[in-house]
Amino acid sequence: MPAILTDYHVKDYNKWLELYQEYEPMRREAGITKTSIWTAAEDPNHLYVLMECRDVKKAHEMWSDPKMKDLPRQAGVVGEAVVTVLNEGATKPRQAGQRA
């Protein structure tokens, strides 16, 4: 299943998280099935959000929705986000130290 990794900074993680949680139904409708949120060890306002999705095109359509236009500013995103689309590899993830 493809995934989307977003890397960005916010002014206040807790404020960002409140707004992020509010838009859960919209993400679900866009085919996003699983989300993991990570913060950088040295900066809790530097976020990495990994979202598994059934259809990358549908996810992009969600972000193009006019309702989403002002969302980054409202959420306190600083600067531009770096968005990377990931394709699932040919092998399953392994535990550290596990052989292929």
Binned at pLDDT 50, 70 and 90, residue 99 comes out as low
Q: Which architecture characterizes domain 3-86 according to CATH?
A: 2-Layer Sandwich (3.30)
Give pTM, 2 decimals.
0.81
Task: For 34-67, write each residue's pLDDT tens digit.
Answer: 999 999 999 999 999 999 999 888 888 888 888 7
As given in the structure block, the two tokens for residue 66 are 């006019």
The structural domains of the chain, with segments of one domain joined by +, span 3-86
Average pLDDT value over all residues in the chain: 89
